[in-house]
Amino acid sequence: MSLQNTNPTNTQAWQELEKHFSKVKDIPVLDLFNKNPNRVNEFSILWEDFFIDFSKNKIDTKAKKLLLALAEELQLSAAIEKQFSGEKINETENRAVLHTALRAKNKPDEVKENLAKMNVFSEAIITGKHTGYTGKPITHVVNIGIGGSSLGPEMVVEALTEYRNHLEVSFVDNLDRHQIENILKKLDPETTLFIVVSKSFSTQETLHNASIARDWFLEQAQQAEYLEKHFVAVSANTDKVAAFGISKANTFSMWDWVGGRFSLWSTVGLSIACAIGYENFENLLGGAQQMDKHFRETPFNNNIPVCLALISLWYNNFYKAETEAVIPYAASMHKLIPFLQQGSMESNGKGVDRNSNKISYQTGTVVWGEPGTNAQHAFFQLIHQGTKLIPCDFIGFKKPIHTYTEDHDLLMANFFAQTQALLVGKSKAEVLAEEKNLGEESPILPHKIFEGNKPTTSILIDKLTPNSLGKLIAMYEHKWFVQGVIWNIYSFDQWGVALGKQLAKNTFKAIVNKDAEEVKDASTKRLLKHYLS
Ligand SMILES: O=P(O)(O)OC[C@H]1O[C@H](O)[C@H](O)[C@@H](O)[C@@H]1O
């Protein structure tokens, strides 16, 4: 057993963290600021167009030191090198994990070829050189895929609205027929391109939706040869693509060494290239490449993904915080949360360690959130005054993507005010001074007090661009990786999604046969009977 397969709770650093935690857990963060005039410097990182302020977290100098020692003791550097050098670190699937190779300066030849093909194709769609079966240019692109074959591209396409061209881009992922019907009814088969994206090309939702789209198309186009102009596929399973009826020329390859949730950098990003142009897609890759370099080369105490990962681990394993929230102050980033949920929770929601033993400590956190300012009016009440500890990442931009700078100032004033309110709170004395009609004995008084001391990390970026978005996404990818290394789990498989898929097949059979007895447990049997009645 190498040191990298160690139960983290058995390390010396963990033991010391436990001891230290019991001493410092109740110290208010404001006291830490008072005792340490250098706190903001010590707990912030300025890197290129990113400024990360960790100082509002419940962490002192010693805890930081011990967390960094934990990373060293568990040989994080060696683990990072293993990933970048293409070792088969996804051991349960016997695969390398090389999404970083997709955005590296020197890409593997097969990647270069497929990206070049993507460049030419997206350009032809955008310029109208590629026409539909009646000679009209394509106006609408529909990405059919789910999970990693949808969340990343959709998030990027939505976030970068200011970089969009004239093409309308939609995403169909859900098995609910309602979704695809709603999209198709607005489309014209003559001017629509479908991109069927599935690494495995055996995902129920995607194949089902792709068949619906094909039938819809053929209903009007009539001739199967016209499919060639309107259906392309992205997949690692070219045989299955061919069996579905999409030609080799219309197939973009991806590879088993790219995990679905890390695949937006590959040909899975075809819808991105169509929506914002290939050059902008390359800028996205360029940003990720810069973050990869930062992650690989920067000492841990100044390393953004490493610090984010360790602070999150501190809350998860010592404060026993169950969740963490992400609040982007950019309405166009509303799809960032589901993307991060898959990335973090599918990667690190594991209960068995690398030695195949059941884990006795906490692993993956629950990630949730919503863009600010909407979040303020929905769930911030609980974060400010509830009983749960919820560390939050606030993401904001110095410059807006529009020209209304004062409006942007108003938005960002909310960002800063919220992190400040969460930290500082409002004391009894302050409430009384502000509200003269409230007496000391008023039953309303306790409701108006804010304890403060609620932790936030501020991620302040110059501007939302393809480059900075690439950096931001790669930053979170590396955060999950670091946590997986420390938790001693395999972050790159997802066996936990298999059982439900398997049972759905039998359940569907039971429904078709109208035979609830095929289902084993009493509750589901009763539900099925009711459904069938
Ligand atoms: O790209 P596909 O093979 O269609 O897979 C789509 C998604 O489905 C699976 O259930 C996995 O949980 C995801 O990791 C994956 O991204």
The pLDDT tens digits of the residues spanning 420-472 come to: 999 999 999 999 999 999 999 999 999 999 999 999 999 999 999 999 999 99
Q: Is 53 in the pocket of ligand 1 (CB under 6 A)?
A: no
* Tokens found for residue 133: 């079966």
**Spatial distance between the Cα atoms of 138 and 193, rounded to a whole number of angstroms:** 7
Residue pLDDT, tens place only, 458-505: 999 999 999 999 999 999 999 999 999 999 999 999 999 999 999 999
How crowded is residue 242: how many other Cβ atoms within 10 Å of its Cβ? 15
Kindly report the CATH number assigned to the domain that includes residue 478.
3.40.50.10490
Cβ neighbours of residue 192 under 8 Å, at least 6 residues apart? Answer: 132, 138, 139, 140, 141, 142, 217, 230
Q: Is 148 in the pocket of ligand 1 (CB under 6 A)?
A: yes
Query: Is the pLDDT assigned to residue 385 strictly greater than 90?
Result: yes
**Spatial distance between the Cα atoms of 491 and 262, rounded to a whole number of angstroms:** 12
Q: Is 466 in the pocket of ligand 1 (CB under 6 A)?
A: no
Q: Where a domain ends, among 276, 299, 324?
A: 276
One-letter amino acid of 455 = P
| Residues 304 and 194 grouped into a single domain | no
- Of 350, 497, 501, the one to substitute when testing ligand 1's pocket (max ligand atoms within 8 A of C-beta) is 497
Is residue 370 flagged as an active site residue?
no
| Residues 392 and 423 grouped into a single domain | yes
pLDDT cut 90: percent of the chain above it: 98
Does the residue 134 lie in any domain? yes
Q: Where a domain ends, among 253, 276, 299?
A: 276
Mean pLDDT of 195-204: 97
Is residue 377 flagged as an active site residue?
yes
14 pLDDT band, cuts 50/70/90, is very high
| Residues 502 and 525 grouped into a single domain | yes
| Residues 178 and 80 grouped into a single domain | no
Chain centroid to Cα 203, Å, comes to 20
* Tokens found for residue 297: 């080369």
Q: Give me the pLDDT at residue 167, please.
A: 98
| Residues 311 and 331 grouped into a single domain | yes
Is residue 477 flagged as an active site residue?
no
- Of 144, 150, 200, the one to substitute when testing ligand 1's pocket (max ligand atoms within 8 A of C-beta) is 200
Q: Is 198 in the pocket of ligand 1 (CB under 6 A)?
A: yes
| Residues 321 and 192 grouped into a single domain | no
- Of 95, 199, 253, 345, the one to substitute when testing ligand 1's pocket (max ligand atoms within 8 A of C-beta) is 199
- Of 143, 344, 494, the one to substitute when testing ligand 1's pocket (max ligand atoms within 8 A of C-beta) is 494
Does the residue 99 lie in any domain? no
pTM: 0.97
Q: Is 328 in the pocket of ligand 1 (CB under 6 A)?
A: no
Q: Is 261 in the pocket of ligand 1 (CB under 6 A)?
A: yes
What is the three-class DSSP state of 478?
Answer: helix
Q: Give me the pLDDT at residue 518, please.
A: 83
Number of structural domains in the chain: 3
Nearest to 207 by CA among 183, 182, 231, 178: 231
N residues, the chain: 533
Whole-number Å distance, alpha carbon 263 to ligand 1 midpoint, is: 10
| Residues 192 and 157 grouped into a single domain | yes
Q: Where a domain ends, among 249, 276, 303?
A: 276
Q: Is 99 in the pocket of ligand 1 (CB under 6 A)?
A: no
Cβ neighbours of residue 33 under 8 Å, at least 6 residues apart? Answer: 39, 40, 55
Does the residue 131 lie in any domain? yes
Nearest to 431 by CA among 413, 452, 459, 409: 452
Give the nearest ligand 1 atom to 200 CA. 3
| Residues 258 and 141 grouped into a single domain | yes
Mean pLDDT of 516-532: 92
CA distances from residue 40 to 314, 355, 459 in whole angstroms, order as listed: 19, 40, 14
Q: Please give the full DSSP string across 20-52, using - where no structure is assigned.
A: HHHHHTT--HHHHHHH-TTHHHHTEEEETTEEE
| Residues 168 and 291 grouped into a single domain | no
Q: Is 236 in the pocket of ligand 1 (CB under 6 A)?
A: no
The question of ipTM being above 0.90 is answered as yes
Q: Give me the pLDDT at residue 159, please.
A: 98
Give the nearest ligand 1 atom to 145 CA. 4
**Spatial distance between the Cα atoms of 350 and 365, rounded to a whole number of angstroms:** 10
* Tokens found for residue 268: 């899975």
Q: Give me the pLDDT at residue 4, please.
A: 61
Q: Give me the pLDDT at residue 5, please.
A: 87
Query: Is the pLDDT assigned to residue 2 strictly greater than 60?
Result: no
Does the residue 1 lie in any domain? no
Does the residue 186 lie in any domain? yes
Q: Which of 346, 350, 408, 478 is catalytic?
A: 346
Q: Is 260 in the pocket of ligand 1 (CB under 6 A)?
A: yes
Q: Is 75 in the pocket of ligand 1 (CB under 6 A)?
A: no
**Spatial distance between the Cα atoms of 353 and 114, rounded to a whole number of angstroms:** 36
Mean pLDDT of 90-117: 95
Q: Which residue has the tokens 């940003």?
A: 287
Q: Give me the pLDDT at residue 1, please.
A: 39
Does the residue 122 lie in any domain? yes
Does the residue 110 lie in any domain? yes
Q: Is 524 in the pocket of ligand 1 (CB under 6 A)?
A: no
Residue pLDDT, tens place only, 294-328: 999 999 999 999 999 999 999 999 999 999 999 99
Give the nearest ligand 1 atom to 236 CA. 3
Specify the DSSP element, H or E, that contains 431. Answer: helix 428-434
Does the residue 345 lie in any domain? yes
What is the three-class DSSP state of 54?
Answer: coil
Query: Is the pLDDT assigned to residue 395 strictly greater than 50?
Result: yes
251 pLDDT band, cuts 50/70/90, is very high
Which residue segment(s) compose the domain that 514 sits in? 496-532
Q: Give me the pLDDT at residue 91, please.
A: 93
Pairing of strands 392-399, 456-463: parallel
| Residues 162 and 109 grouped into a single domain | yes
Q: Give me the pLDDT at residue 153, please.
A: 98
Give the nearest ligand 1 atom to 205 CA. 4
> Which residue's C-alpha comes closest to atom 8 of ligand 1?
147
Pairing of strands 50-53, 456-463: antiparallel
Q: Which residue has the tokens 């932790």?
A: 455
Q: Which of 112, 398, 428, 501 is catalytic?
A: 501
| Residues 418 and 509 grouped into a single domain | no
| Residues 312 and 409 grouped into a single domain | yes
Find out whether 153 and 336 touch, Cβ atoms under 8 Å: no
